[in-house]
Chains A and B, each alone.
Chain A
Amino acid sequence: MDTQIKDAPPPAPQPPTAEQKRAARGATRPGDRIFLGLSRGSGILLLVIMAAIAGFLTYRASIAISKDDANFLTSFEWNTGLVPPKFGIAVLVFGTVVSSIIAMVIAVPIAVAIALFLTHYAPRRLSGPIAYVIDLLAAVPSIVYGLWGALILVPHMNGLYGWLNDYLGWTGIFSWQGGAPRSMLTVGILLAIMILPIITNVSREVFRQAPQMIEEAALALGATRWEVIRMAVIPFGRSGVISASMLGLGRALGETMAVATVLSPTFDIQSSLLDPGGGTFAQNIASKFSEASDLGRDALIASGLVLFVITLLVNGAARMIIARRKEYSGANA
């Protein structure tokens, strides 16, 4: 590659203002100016796109909300065809939050356990390939998870649903009237399976960076492996695990196709997690979109804006946690 260097132009004679020129290095020659302009322009383009997303969605949403006869945030209806139209996102907020919470409750402990397994328990020869496979699983498209969930997972949920209904049905949350198990619980389980690889990957990276010296010191003092993990690895990795979980949460919140294939949606809130019904933001957009009128589309865009803001907050928080961690942990240095 260094053969190319010899046809470079000779260095320009330095005028007396060399100090200033060096300060503005990269913008002195025309080639440099163009290149800097291009690359800075791309960066600015990204910001413009983000602003445009927020702007356009807000604009269309405001059109829809101004025509909305019900309270957009608290109404339980979605009737954009009515005159005057009535729609609100209360059901969607509920469904999105509940399915994501189920997914997190299942996925985070298992993902952390797998990450610990890969870093501290698995035989060396096994952990490399397994980590690789988990990497690949993170790349499986969500529609494939959706198809699998709808055709394989749903029929297999009957047993679990019956069992939950028999023993925990008295709580009300786990009562089941015998409908097809296309409900929030199945959605949550499927989402958990989908976000498992991401959370595992990030947590594994964090655990692997845990300071070796402290672990060895603890072992030398006679700590068991579990004590080492509890005292040296987990405290070190806590913020990393939190941010990994929030990345997974962001994905669960915005997941469309897996929910759309598995859930049999209704626009109301089911008191039981096992009875089919409810909906999430993304699923509602995907399944209502094709029949929506003009106003209906704007209403869906309005609900998309809410989803956008929620995921923005979740992801922003996750990034802040990661950034803060970088500052105080000297382990990477």
Chain B
Amino acid sequence: MSNAVIAEKRPSTLQGARLPKWSPWAIAVGSVALGLGISAAAGLDSSIQWALIAGLLFVLGTYVIAARVEGRRQAKDRIATSLVWVAFLLALIPLISLVWSTVSRGVKVLDLYFLTHSMGLTADSEPGGGIYHAILGSLEQVGLATVLAAPVGVLTAIYLVEYGRGRLAKAVTFFVDVMTGIPSIVAGLFILSIMLMFDMQPFGFAGSMALAILMMPVVVRSTEEMLKLVPNELREASLALGVPKWRTILKVVLPTSIGGITTGIMLAIARIAGETAPVLLLVWGNSLINANPFEGAQQSLPLYIYQQYANSAGSGAAYDRAWAASLTLIAFVMILNLVARGIARWKAPKTGR
């Protein structure tokens, strides 16, 4: 009814009464102040509490004010808007904290010495030491996993897109989907059960095999998407010239989609580079440099982080190293991601989609 009253006052507009644009901010400031005041008065010292009180006040205040001025439907709309904003801001807190703490704590010991030395002469509880052995191990394991997984993944995707009809293709599609969801530790256990059968000791390549299992479905999925983007006209033109199908695929389809395929493979690498669980089961970790992935325990970057955290009984130096290694790992993953996306944008097939 308040609508009608105000509408009569301003007969020139068809719109109902609206709160001024600054009102959400005003209500927010008011409720934060009130929340702080209440918690100060009641002697509550947890920051969660006053935030909660302020949030409740904000939602209530918005609803009551908007319902009075604009009507109930608008009030609900405003509540939904503020809830959505709150959810977004709430989610930002841990994510920003994660990035911030990794960067700020990681730079403490991250220097050239850290990147070029192993833990061979340093006990886990002492300062010093570095991640050279872990970087080396990670690069070897991930590289070997890529060598295993990328060709299989790309060929499978080619099969699915270029040849795949019938039951086999359907089964492959379904199981690729299911395989995407395999927990990394299960992939580790699978290789472990094979190793137990042959009584093998942990070595780097075993980790690579588990990582390859995790990588294959990701590569298949992304390559499939990219191959589907290649316009059929290109294939038909090539086939019409009498080019055999396999050459068409190699010389026309793959070059057209190579950017996207590279991106997919790099994203998959970024995903497996951070996997800890299979490496923990299969490669064990090593404080010394072991450059041979086919014999003896190796280290890897994510495993190094875990062991620095878990085996050092709360030593600050070990935590510093763990943060620095995290920062290195995140930087590696992020650079891979950014480069991959850059390639995707740069080499995107011009399909005019």
Contacts and interface: CB of A to CB of B under 8 A. Distances in A.
Decide whether A and B assemble into one complex: yes
Interface of A: 1-2, 4-5, 8-11, 25-26, 29, 31-32, 34-36, 38-47, 49-50, 52-53, 56-57, 59-60, 109-110, 113-114, 116-117, 121-122, 135-137, 139-148, 150-153, 159-160, 162-163, 193, 196, 224-227, 229, 247, 250-251, 253-257, 260-261, 282, 285-286, 289, 294, 297-298, 300-301, 304, 307-308, 311-312, 314-316, 318-319
B261 interface: no
Contacts of A285: 185, 189, 277, 281
Interface string B171-184: 11011111111111
Say what secondary structure dominates the interface of chain A: helix
A289 B184 CA distance: 15
Contacts of B281: 285-286, 289
B351 interface: no
Say what secondary structure dominates the interface of chain B: helix
A289 B280 contact: yes
Contacts of A312: 178, 181
B182 A53 contact: yes
B91 A46 contact: no
B42 interface: no
Contacts of A38: 155
A141 B331 CA distance: 11
B305 A144 contact: yes
B178 A152 contact: no
B81 A5 contact: no
Size category of the B interface is 35 or more
B85 interface: yes
A11 B323 CA distance: 62
Given A50-B179, A114-B91, A289-B281, A29 B244 contact: yes
A307 B271 CA distance: 21
A205 to B, nearest CB: 13
A151 B178 CA distance: 34
B178 A319 contact: yes
Nearest to B273: A141
Interface stretch (B28-36, B56-64, B248-256): B248-256
B231 to A, nearest CB: 13
Contacts of A52: 190
B275 interface: yes
Contacts of B160: 43
A46 B81 CA distance: 46
Contact of A139 (B220, B247, B305, B337): B337
Given A135-B337, A285-B185, A285-B277, 4 more contacts: A5-B251, A141-B275, A147-B305, A286-B281
A-B complex: 9 closest residue pairs judged by Cβ atoms: A141-B274, A254-B183, A315-B181, A113-B87, A11-B242, A35-B246, A39-B159, A224-B77, A159-B46
